[in-house]
Amino acid sequence: MNRLRDTLHASTGLMPTDADLERALRDAGGQRTMPAPEDYAPLPGTPAFEALVDQLVVPESWMLRDPAVFTEALRFVQQRLAARPQRAVRILSVPCAGGEEPYSMALVLAQAGIPASRCRIDAVDLSQAAIARARSGRFTRNAFRGADLAFRERWFTRQGDDYLVDDALRAYVGFSQGNLLALADRAGLPAGVPAAGVLPPYDLVFCRNLLIYFDAPTRTRAAQAIANVLADDGLLLSGHAEAPSFCANGFVPVHTGFVLRKRIGPAQPATAMAALADLPPLRRRARAAPLPMAPHRPAAATPAPPTAPARRPAPDELLAQARSLADAGRLQQAEAACRTLLDITPDSADAWFLLGTVQASAARPHAADTSWRRCVYLAPDHYEALCSLALLHEGLGDAATGAGFRQRAARIYARRGGASA
């Protein structure tokens, strides 16, 4: 098992527990019928290795996940096309899971009237099963989680219980199985690791909800890989909780917490986000009293500071405002909006989650820790809060606490059926 775990980690960055590995070996059993011998370790690139990887990855994703990210992406593409009308814009989505992220980007482009000939999306994931799903273009209801699903009626066709993506969106995207880490240091990897379908430099790279599964050295390799394929004047769109890790590894925030660019030239003084990675380990905190949890609502588009309102906004409006302010990098106002909301509904897990995200972006990890813990106290299945806590603690050098949160997140994922679509 140790040899197998080492091979998996060196090649892919995955860090399965013993229990995960035993389950994966059992479930990938099509490849073998006997229990694995202690030194069983198929080579990367072999069918046995790929089958095991498929059992270990977390291909959790959904359409228009974090809508503000796609708003930023569209704005950038439009600026790029205006500045260089003769060149198509090139986008990389890695990891793309079952295709939810690149199809979402295609949808946003199509709705903005930008044709596939003007913008090409390469989409890559380690899991061959995820790539097969992405190519099939078939999604279950689980891939559509917002309240406003009008886009589904326009761009997907119902087939039984599933939804099939429109050919017009397929035209934007090319899928390949590949390993991001292979782009960091090909020479240092075991033979047979693919890095197919990637043709740098890219104007825009989506790399979201991947670093949360990696340890610190692997996060550095992943950031290096992204730096290798991103144009010097290109943008990286990261997950909210992952931006500090990128900023500790050669990236700087642009104007919004999750929009980053490469740091060019000598290292600059630590940004607020990079500083997050340098703080001492956290102390454990007492838990707050349990309170009922609030439902999730998607962000609305029009922010307005919640100071001195003529009438008190409804909690949903306040949450939407707070999200928009956070997405616009207006952290103080976002925090104020979260606190106003929490004054009205102190049991809103989503408000605590957002408050933690804002505090993490402002390099206040202790405050973020408290808020995210409150969130998972109120909503023990809050997957994103658990992932954020895992990354926060691992970034702060408390690997054991980070691993605990990571395992809780993995259990929730497994309970949901382990499917992203």
Q: How far is the CB of 402 from ligand SAM (least distance, A)?
A: 17
Contact 156, 163 (CB under 8 A): yes
Q: Of 209 and 321, which has the nearer Cβ to ligand SAM?
A: 209
Stretch of 32-40, 178-186, 352-360, 389-397 lying at the interface with ligand SAM (CB under 6 A): 178-186
CA 301 to each of CA 111, 324, 352: distance values in angstroms, whole numbers, following the listed order? 16, 7, 20
Among 133, 208, 364, 382, binds ligand SAM (CB under 6 A): 208
List phi, psi (to 5°) of 232. Answer: -60, -30
- 223 is a site residue for ligand SAM (CB under 6 A): no
Residue 256 in 3-state DSSP? coil
Span of 92-100, 243-251, 330-338, 352-360 interacting with ligand SAM by CB under 6 A: 92-100
Cβ–Cβ < 8 Å for 354, 326: yes
Using CB under 6 A, pick the residue from 8, 13, 316, 335 that binds ligand SAM. Answer: 13
In angstroms, the CA 98 to CA 103 distance is 10
Tokens of 208: 């979201």
Q: How far is the CB of 250 from ligand SAM (least distance, A)?
A: 18
Residues 103-142 vs ligand SAM: string with x where CB under 6 A?
----------------------xxx--x------------
1 Cα distance to chain centroid: 29
By CB under 6 A, the residues from 27 to 86 that bind ligand SAM are: 57-61, 65
| Paired tokens of 211 | 């670093």
By beta-carbon proximity to ligand SAM, the closer residue of 208 and 374 is 208
Q: At what angle do helices 67-83 and 100-111 cross, to 10 degrees?
A: 50
Residue number, 134 or 341, with CB nearest to ligand SAM: 134
With contacts defined by CB under 6 A, how many residues of the chain interact with ligand SAM? 23
Q: Minimum distance between the CB of residue 183 and ligand SAM, rounded to whole angstroms?
A: 9
Q: By CB under 6 A, is residue 97 in contact with ligand SAM?
A: yes
- Buried residues in 363-373 as b, exposed as e (16+ CB within 10 A): bbbebbbbbbb
Burial class (CB in 10 A: 0-12, 13-18, 19+), 393: buried
Residues within the interface to ligand SAM (CB under 6 A): 12-13, 57-61, 65, 94-95, 97, 100-101, 125-127, 130, 179-181, 208-210
